[in-house]
Amino acid sequence: MGNCCPNHDLKTSFISSISDDKTKLVTNSASKQPVLVVIPPPPLKQQISQDDFIKIGMLGQGAFGKVYQVRKKDTNKIYAMKQIQIKKIRECNLETNTVLERNVLKQSKHPFIVKLKFAFQNPKYIFFVMECINGGQFYNVLKCKRSGLPENVVRFVAAEVVLALEYLNTKLKVIYRDLKPEITFY
């Protein structure tokens, strides 16, 4: 039958029963009396899925999956979506590597490392949605330039790669061993 705490009034007990992050005590400008305002919780993040994207085209293919250029339906932003087959990851015991890749992409804040925007999965695939880099694979640039690239371009690309590897090694404590022109963007 109500609050039976002899040392507390009803107002104090009610205020203390609501967690601090959901309330705010403000002063009413007209009466100068304190007023309790309940702050609604932030909206729940909507679950994202493959259905939120439209495939535009395939950017590449690897041993474990494919990379597509996609458009997010609600924002029309263009991304690269890496679709990894869970079955193949399990067959090769690479679950830990896949989790590490997601964590590195999520934590990375470096201008020469692509940024992970979304990660989700369904029963067959794991999806990493990353910023899409215009320009293309360094491998394709090398194939087209039979006479080689100008020295200043080679120096610039090499410096970007060295800085990215240095960041991974010193800041994220990761040794990257899979560097190749196919996954270097120009």
- Pick out the residues of the known binding site: 82
Total residue length of the chain = 186
Q: What whole-number distance in Å separates Cα of residue 48 and Cα of residue 71?
A: 13
3-class DSSP assignment, residue 29: coil
Which residue is it, tokens 């002899």? 6
Q: CB atoms < 10 A from the CB of 147, how many?
A: 5
How far does Cα 60 stand from its chain's mean position? Answer: 20
| Cα separations in angstroms, 94 against 82, 85, 158, 180 | 16, 11, 29, 20
Contact 154, 162 (CB under 8 A): no
Active site residue 21: no
3-class DSSP assignment, residue 106: helix
Q: Catalytic pick from 20, 21, 74, 178?
A: 178
Residue ranges at the known binding site for ATP: 82
Give the tokens for residue 55.
Answer: 């495939």
Give the tokens for residue 182.
Answer: 């196919």
Just list the catalytic residues.
Answer: 178
